[in-house]
Amino acid sequence: MEFSGVRALVTGGARGMGRCFVEQVRAGGGQVAFCDVDAAAVAAASEELGAPGFACDVSNEGAVQRFYDDAAAAMGVPNVLINNAGITRDGLFLKAHPETGEPVMMGLDRWQQVLDVNLTGPFLCTRAFAAGAFRAKQAESVVVNLSSISRAGNAGQLNYSAAKAGLVADTVVWAKELARYGVRVGAVAPGFIRTPMTEGMKPEALAKVASGIPLKRLGEPTEIWLAIRFIIECGYFTGRVVEVDGGLVI
């Protein structure tokens, strides 16, 4: 796909990596609309980035369809979707209570919240996007899913790992099912990236994380963007995952 013709949707675009992706689409000459769950953050980012932004909970079916419709009205039928929105609710599946010694289990709410946003969200967004591309009979459309190095199974991230592994499986299924309609689907699996979330960690904890990475540093959001742009522009790429993790293996 020629980048000058990109009309992209970015979920979770008001902050962190998503904000970087919005900036990079605009810098590359494409059009972009984004959403985020925080309406105040959306308003501020929209003004700063010069891109239409919409408040949207990606786990809500009606909200997702409204986001798609509003974005399409603002810039035309989207031909790129970047499923970036995600949350973490980390915790051990089972641990002993420090005082009683009784088992403390991960609550269903903590499990469900992560699955709703990180797995159901991309399902709903991709469904709306694919239907729009189908109706418009677009020659080429691209979905990029943001998975994670944690998809391999990271202790303390049972819910997150399950969602990100499921998203890779969905990537493969969507690539097979949607190719006949001109839709390519790829995924990027970032490692530890420098974002407001990681920058909020204690310096000693951050240093410990970096020391375990072969390249001895965290990645930058722009380095994840390079992988996303490759998927968008490479017309023979679909159904696969690009790992951008500094060589770290979990």
- Structure confidence at residue 205 as a pLDDT band (50, 70, 90): confident
pTM confidence score: 0.96
For the residues 179-190, what does the mean pLDDT come to? 98
| Residues taking part in catalysis | 160
CB-count burial class (<10 Å; 0-12, 13-18, 19+) for 102: exposed
* CA 54 vs CA 30, 63, 77, 114: distances in Å: 18, 10, 16, 21
Q: State the pLDDT at residue 206.
A: 86
CA gap 110, 215 in Å, rounded = 33
Assess whether pLDDT exceeds 90 at residue 117.
yes
Helices then strands, counting H and E runs in the chain, come out as: 9, 9
For residues 75-96, average pLDDT: 97
Greater pLDDT, 226 or 197: 226
Q: Nearest 5°: phi and psi at 181?
A: -105, 15
Q: Which helix (H) or strand (E) holds 233?
A: helix 221-233
Q: Does the pLDDT at position 200 exceed 80?
A: no
Q: At residue 197, does pLDDT exceed 90? A: no
What region, left, alpha or beta, does residue 214 occupy, with left being phi > 0 and alpha being psi -120 to 50 degrees?
alpha
The domain locations on the chain are 3-242
- The pLDDT mean for the chain works out to 96
CATH superfamily for domain 3-242: NAD(P)-binding Rossmann-like Domain (3.40.50.720)
Share of the chain above pLDDT 70, in %: 100
pLDDT level of residue 235 (50, 70, 90 thresholds): very high
Q: Report residue 140's pLDDT band, with 50, 70 and 90 as the boundaries.
A: very high
Interatomic CA distance for residues 229 and 20, integer angstroms: 12
Over residues 202-213, the mean pLDDT reads 90
> Could you tell me which residue, 205 or 126, shows the higher pLDDT?
126
For residue 199, is pLDDT > 90?
no
Q: What is the mean pLDDT of the segment spanning 42-48?
A: 98
Q: Indicate the pairing of strand 31-36 with strand 7-11.
A: parallel
